[in-house]
């Protein structure tokens, strides 16, 4: 999910689950990494789901599908003695927050928050109050307000004392969220004009649990319900081909706060949807969004090609389920040679019972028109192995190795080229002169002015690319 602070109109979302995690103990000989197993689960509470649907405003684009698809979640505990939570992992926001048991949402008779956990400050001896300015709202219209507090955070064998997070005394989401974006994207920075605090990636790096603020995300394919989030490392067994590093883009006159990269082309089978190098769209890699949101002109061309029917009232596009059998890829191009193939079978999603009239053979299509911000959500991310390097403001991408069983983990180090075995993209886009804003195609509402990192940095990195990338 993406915080509201970055745009005005509504779009995306997804929902609750359960999770698993384990930890690789930092030892001298083995890499310093922390690994979580992520879990994706189908919603069971259809009644709550329907109530949420009815409560949503008609103007949120995906109002009717938000709870239909699934987020990736992990287990944590907070407080002394520990209180357990299942939180959704979100690269599109930067705060951890959990619900308070006393919120009006959680106190409903059906106890909708119990499955993912609620926090009782009064039951924790290590709780400390920070301030009452916690207020986060996501582009799908959901949000939470309450206090920022600190308490002991635990996951696996790792313990982080005095970790800052939000407590939702008033919220519209039954599950808490673990935002792992840039500290500058924290709700207290945008909404309350406060300074940043160390969120999870920053705190793990600060405490020396990992060497730099970086992690790898592997969601695995649609048939699989588990993925993994690896702090501080890269698992070479979970991708094929090469990891290619592209720069993260920065909004004009702001610090890096979101995982924007330049989408430089899009191809469906042999149909060119957006010609490579002709225009760039700034897209956010957002694990907290189930679907992929692209500019309307691109989406119209895609729908033409696949025969999708868009329903504005459902905020979703429908296709025959048999489309999944088509042997074609949607290829997303980034700074050359970075590209990710998304198979048609990964873009056709089960519609469930409560949407599309429950007709057999009607499926959801995984790409929908954006209303302001282009987001590459889970329908894209499942096909990629993505390394988010917050210290170097870069993302390394490779084709996912679906259902990889083995692991071959190496540590992400520090300094330039910290991501092992990754090479820098050197496409025309990356080497065009100076910081420039990206063109966003013909849709006026997709305009987010972005700056590329300054040229010196890109060139210096290119020069080093062939040297010592391995640890």
Cβ closest to ligand NAG, residue 268 vs residue 317: 268
Residue 104 in the binding site for ligand NAG (CB under 6 A): no
Binding residues for ligand NAG, rule CB under 6 A, total 19
Q: What count of other Cβ atoms lies within 10 Å of the Cβ of residue 454?
A: 10
Q: What is the DSSP letter of 452?
A: P
Stretch that binds ligand NAG, among 47-55, 242-250, 324-332, 365-373 (CB under 6 A): 324-332
Residue 343 in the binding site for ligand NAG (CB under 6 A): yes
Smallest gap, in angstroms, from Cβ of residue 368 to ligand NAG?
22
Smallest gap, in angstroms, from Cβ of residue 84 to ligand NAG?
6
Smallest gap, in angstroms, from Cβ of residue 105 to ligand NAG?
14
Q: What is the DSSP letter of 84?
A: E
- Distance spanning both ends of the chain, measured CA to CA: 34
Taking CB under 6 A as the criterion, the residue among 93, 145, 438, 440 binding ligand NAG is 145
* Rounded-to-integer distance, Cα 76 and Cα 83, Å: 8
* Rounded-to-integer distance, Cα 266 and Cα 129, Å: 48
| Max CA distance (Å), the chain | 62
Residue 216 in the binding site for ligand NAG (CB under 6 A): no
| The two structure tokens encoding residue 274 | 């957006």
Neighbouring residues of 444: CB distance < 8 A, sequence distance ≥ 6: none
Cβ closest to ligand NAG, residue 122 vs residue 253: 122
Core vs surface per residue 109-137: b (16+ CB within 10 A) or e: eeebbebbbbbebeebeebeebeebbbbb
Total count of residues recorded for the chain = 471
Cβ closest to ligand NAG, residue 86 vs residue 450: 86
Q: What character string, x for contact with ligand NAG (CB under 6 A) and - otherwise, covers 111-140?
A: ----------xx------------x-x---
Smallest gap, in angstroms, from Cβ of residue 148 to ligand NAG?
12
Q: Which of residues 363-382 bind ligand NAG (CB under 6 A)?
A: none
Q: Which of residues 24-63 bind ligand NAG (CB under 6 A)?
A: none
Helix spans in 123-276 (H)? 187-190, 200-206
Neighbouring residues of 285: CB distance < 8 A, sequence distance ≥ 6: 91, 259, 261, 376, 380, 381, 386, 388, 395
Cβ closest to ligand NAG, residue 92 vs residue 143: 143
Q: Which of 12, 107, 429 is nearest to 246 (CA)?
A: 429
Residue of 66, 90, 147, 378 with catalytic role: 90
Residue of 147, 235, 286, 443 with catalytic role: 286
Q: What is the DSSP letter of 207?
A: T
List, in sequence order, every residue forming a beta bridge with 339; answer none if it has no partner.
333
Stretch that binds ligand NAG, among 211-219, 221-229, 327-335, 435-443 (CB under 6 A): 327-335
Cβ closest to ligand NAG, residue 21 vs residue 284: 21
Taking CB under 6 A as the criterion, the residue among 196, 399, 421, 437 binding ligand NAG is 399
Smallest gap, in angstroms, from Cβ of residue 269 to ligand NAG?
7
12 close to 2: Cβ distance less than 8 angstroms: yes
Taking CB under 6 A as the criterion, the residue among 48, 130, 266, 328 binding ligand NAG is 328
243 close to 419: Cβ distance less than 8 angstroms: yes
Smallest gap, in angstroms, from Cβ of residue 240 to ligand NAG?
7
E strands in 370-470: 374-376, 384-389, 394-400, 409-411, 422-424, 450-451
Residue 21 in the binding site for ligand NAG (CB under 6 A): yes
Smallest gap, in angstroms, from Cβ of residue 440 to ligand NAG?
25
Cβ closest to ligand NAG, residue 86 vs residue 390: 86
* Rounded-to-integer distance, Cα 167 and Cα 120, Å: 9
The answer to whether 90 is a known catalytic residue is: yes
The answer to whether 286 is a known catalytic residue is: yes
Smallest gap, in angstroms, from Cβ of residue 156 to ligand NAG?
8
Smallest gap, in angstroms, from Cβ of residue 443 to ligand NAG?
25
Exposure of 71 by Cβ count < 10 A (0-12 exposed, 13-18 middle, 19+ buried)? buried
Taking CB under 6 A as the criterion, the residue among 60, 75, 93, 216 binding ligand NAG is 75
* Rounded-to-integer distance, Cα 88 and Cα 175, Å: 7
Stretch that binds ligand NAG, among 12-20, 257-265, 273-281, 402-410 (CB under 6 A): 12-20
Sign of CA dihedral 225, 48, 289, 379: positive
Angle at 212 between CA 373 and CA 217, to 5 degrees: 50
Cβ closest to ligand NAG, residue 200 vs residue 343: 343
Query: How far from the centroid of its chain's Cα atoms is residue 411's Cα?
Result: 22
Residues contributing to the site for ligand NAG (CB under 6 A): 18-21, 75, 84, 86, 121-122, 135, 137, 145, 191, 327-329, 341, 343, 399
Give the residue numbers marked as catalytic.
Answer: 90, 286
């Amino acid at each position: 999910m993406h915080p509201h602070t970055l745009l005005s109109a509504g779009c995306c979302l997804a929902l609750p689950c359960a999770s698993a995690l384990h930890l690789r103990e930092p030892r001298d000989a083995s890499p310093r990494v922390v690994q979580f197993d992520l879990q994706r689960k189908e919603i069971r509470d259809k009644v709550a789901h329907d109530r949420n649907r009815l409560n949503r405003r008609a103007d949120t684009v995906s109002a009717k599908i938000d709870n239909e698809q699934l987020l990736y979640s992990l287990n944590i505990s907070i407080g002394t003695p520990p209180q357990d939570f299942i939180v959704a992992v979100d690269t599109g926001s930067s705060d951890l927050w959990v619900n308070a048991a006393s919120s009006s949402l959680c106190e409903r008779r059906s106890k909708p928050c119990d499955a993912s956990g609620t926090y009782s400050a009064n039951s924790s001896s290590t709780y400390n109050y920070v301030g009452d300015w916690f207020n986060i709202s996501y582009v799908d219209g959901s949000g939470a307000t309450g206090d920022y507090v600190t308490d002991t955070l635990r996951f696996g064998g790792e313990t982080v004392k005095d970790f800052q997070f939000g407590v939702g005394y008033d919220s519209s989401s039954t599950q808490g969220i673990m935002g792992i974006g840039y500290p500058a994207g924290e709700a207290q920075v945008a909404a309350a004009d406060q300074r940043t605090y160390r969120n999870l990636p920053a705190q793990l790096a600060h405490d020396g649990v990992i060497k730099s603020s970086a992690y790898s995300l592997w969601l695995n394919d649609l048939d699989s319900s588990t993925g993994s989030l690896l702090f501080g490392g890269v698992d070479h067994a979970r991708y094929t081909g090469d990891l290619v590093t592209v720069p993260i883009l920065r909004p004009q006159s702001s610090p890096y706060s979101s995982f924007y990269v330049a989408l430089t082309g899009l191809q469906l089978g042999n149909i060119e949807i957006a010609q490579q190098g002709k225009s760039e769209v700034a897209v956010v890699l957002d694990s907290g969004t189930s679907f992929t949101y692209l500019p309307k002109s691109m989406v119209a061309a895609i729908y033409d090609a696949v025969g999708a029917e868009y329903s504005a009232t459902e905020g979703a596009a429908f296709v025959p389920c048999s489309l999944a059998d088509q042997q074609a890829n949607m290829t997303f191009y980034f700074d050359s040679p970075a590209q990710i193939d998304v198979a048609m079978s990964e873009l056709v999603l089960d519609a469930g019972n409560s949407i599309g009239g429950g007709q057999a053979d009607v499926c959801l299509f995984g790409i929908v028109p954006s209303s302001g911000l282009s987001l590459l959500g889970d329908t894209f991310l499942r096909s990629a192995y993505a390394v988010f390097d917050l210290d170097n403001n870069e993302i390394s991408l490779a084709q996912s190795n679906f259902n990889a069983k083995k692991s071959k983990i190496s540590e992400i180090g520090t300094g330039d080229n910290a991501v092992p075995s990754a090479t820098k993209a050197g496409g025309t886009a990356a080497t065009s002169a100076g910081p420039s804003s990206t063109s966003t195609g013909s849709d006026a509402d997709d305009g987010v002015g972005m700056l590329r990192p300054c040229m010196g940095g890109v060139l210096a990195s290119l020069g080093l690319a062939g040297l010592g990338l391995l640890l």
